[in-house]
Chain A
């Protein structure tokens, strides 16, 4: 298939599945909290709605940075789809994309001039300090498989079995990273309800639409990387089942756990990172 067509196809699938999974998550959370909850399609409709809403720009916004940052967020997650499902490239590139995403979160908050955005911007720096150590998982994967290329990691697992059994603590670290990206998670301090919608508070219309598209693609990509790197070669149906299972599990956690305050959130994530790194290294030496 033509490369451009392949990219477009994968981006569309990532956006649609990511949106539906977010919708499913809200539905499951609502049922746990004995509410009817919105339809599964709600997140997708919510995203599309912003493209027909009026786009207004705050007086305090730092132009043109304020506009560029929303498009950049979209661009970096489209790049993640290219690095991931399309070319099965290096995990290091994916790490770079995630780091960029944290910078964009920070700048989206600061560029709007809103006090909520600015608080979110500070929290984005906090959370990056906690989430980036979780990416030590890449080093552990490298030590185990001697490669960073996704296609080689898939081949390694086809021969040696899923990595989730050999480096389970690394899988747990990555799971915590995914959990932190979920909108209602205990670690979602950048978008906590106490700061309205965080860095998105002052983004309206098309710009908000771009941010929401990026979030859906990001969710799909994080789940895709988890399943690919820790479970191994899967068909499309396998990916779908895995993504639904992880999303439901995360919905259970979100529905039953309060949003932590920023300090606690960072400490819990760093504790997970510490246990994951030290524990994985010990396990690798012992086994």
Chain B
């Protein structure tokens, strides 16, 4: 049963990456040269990594659902065309990690 869950996680990640790649090529016409942070991608990334890392905090949602959804969103940004989504992903991971560590630090 565990393996089925992990397979669904992997498929969710793969689908998110493929969709992210396709959408990013439509959205960004130029190669990654301006190095600006896209606010939409940033929100998606933070939401995605938060759902993956802090699924235990969301008591109203089964962890299986939140991780699947989170991986999809995180992959959406991580899988964007080369260069794009890099800063957004790092910020997303950092914020999720801080939230995850917060109870232990406080």
CA gap between A40 and B17 in the complex, in Å: 8
**How far does the Cβ of A277 sit from chain B's closest Cβ, in whole Å?**
36
**Inter-chain residue pair count (beta carbon < 8 A):** 44
A58 close to B (CB within 8 Å): no
Contact, CB under 8 Å: B3 / A10: yes
B40 close to A (CB within 8 Å): no
How would you classify the secondary structure of chain B's contact residues: helix, strand, loop or mixed? helix
A residues lining the B interface (CB < 8 Å):
1, 6, 9-10, 12-13, 16-17, 20, 36-41, 44-45, 236
Contact, CB under 8 Å: A36 / B78: no
Q: In chain B between 12 and 42, which residues have their CB closer than 8 angstroms to a CB of chain A? A: 13-14, 17-18, 21, 31-32
Contact, CB under 8 Å: A41 / B32: no
Contact, CB under 8 Å: B21 / A39: yes
Contact, CB under 8 Å: A39 / B7: no
Task: Name A38's closest neighbour in chain B (CB-CB).
Answer: B82
Contact, CB under 8 Å: A9 / B3: yes
| A39 contact from B3, B6, B10, B82, Cβ within 8 A | B82
Contact, CB under 8 Å: B6 / A36: no
Contact, CB under 8 Å: B7 / A236: no
Chain A residues closer than 8 Å to B13, beta-carbon distance: 20
**How far does the Cβ of B83 sit from chain A's closest Cβ, in whole Å?**
5
Contact, CB under 8 Å: B4 / A9: yes
Contact, CB under 8 Å: A39 / B11: no
**How far does the Cβ of B68 sit from chain A's closest Cβ, in whole Å?**
15
| B6 contact from A38, A41, A236, Cβ within 8 A | A236
Taking each of B2, B3, B32, which has the highest tally of chain A beta carbons within 10 Å of its own beta carbon? B3
Chain A residues closer than 8 Å to B6, beta-carbon distance: 13, 236
A-B contact pairs, 15 of them (CB 8 A): A1-B1, A9-B7, A13-B6, A13-B10, A16-B10, A16-B14, A36-B82, A37-B82, A38-B82, A39-B17, A39-B80, A41-B14, A41-B21, A41-B79, A236-B6
Contact of A36 with B79 at beta-carbon distance under 8 Å, contacts A16-B14, A236-B2, A236-B6 already known: no
Contact, CB under 8 Å: A13 / B2: no
Chain B residues closer than 8 Å to A36, beta-carbon distance: 31-32, 82-83
Chain A residues closer than 8 Å to B11, beta-carbon distance: 16
Chain A residues closer than 8 Å to B78, beta-carbon distance: 40
Contact, CB under 8 Å: A13 / B18: no
Task: Name A16's closest neighbour in chain B (CB-CB).
Answer: B10
Q: In chain B between 75 and 100, which residues have their CB closer than 8 angstroms to a CB of chain A? A: 78-83
CA gap between A58 and B79 in the complex, in Å: 36
**How far does the Cβ of B23 sit from chain A's closest Cβ, in whole Å?**
12
Task: Name A19's closest neighbour in chain B (CB-CB).
Answer: B14
Chain A residues closer than 8 Å to B10, beta-carbon distance: 13, 16-17, 20
CA gap between A256 and B2 in the complex, in Å: 38
CA gap between A119 and B7 in the complex, in Å: 39
CA gap between A39 and B24 in the complex, in Å: 12
Contact, CB under 8 Å: B3 / A41: no
Chain A residues closer than 8 Å to B17, beta-carbon distance: 39-41
